[in-house]
Chain A
Amino acid sequence: AQSVTQLDSQVPVFEEAPVELRCNYSSSVSVYLFWYVQYPNQGLQLLLKYLSGSTLVKGINGFEAEFNKSQTSFHLRKPSVHISDTAEYFCAVTPRGGGFKTIFGAGTRLFVKA
């Protein structure tokens, strides 16, 4: 079975500051890792994903995430945030070869202040 823990429910940050949203996971099998963003009153949009290869993956809107196998983490980062980055961010895992059963974290609310 898999589980996903997003360590911060809310992250307030000032505009142009760096941000890190933390995600740890637990799984008995290898997994694919994802970050999704949900803007107010919208559905979820895929930000980035880790399938294999380089542990640093870059996504849309200047976000990147680093896969750390030993720490079973997949933290999301952005060096300089904008007001428009205010949204809910979800970390998710899908077991490799396990069909389409995806487990989502509880979400982190990023609030960017002027």
Chain B
Amino acid sequence: DVKVTQSSRYLVKRTGEKVFLECVQDMDHENMFWYRQDPGLGLRLIYFSYDVKMKEKGDIPEGYSVSREKKERFSLILESASTNQTSMYLCASRLQGANSGNTIYFGEGSWLTVV
């Protein structure tokens, strides 16, 4: 089974802190994603990476950055956390697909509260 592991399930951070959310997948997937999930808004794509050292902005990249130094690891960074970044963050991975696309596998999620 595909395993996508997010290092922290629950975090509480102060406004202005730098926050790292780590994600590791064990299936040698090329594509990795970071989403945030908020009630009524579904899953919104923050950043994605289609290979090592490659990254692309998603729909809501402002206030975030990412790092993909190794294929299995995709990190989300909040340079200066703000209260509007309180959310549930989901990491996901997918095998590089053809035009028909491939299943996305999600991690368990990280609940971040910024106070």
| Chain A partners chain B | no
Which residues of B pack against A, CB within 8 Å? none
Which residues of A pack against B, CB within 8 Å? none
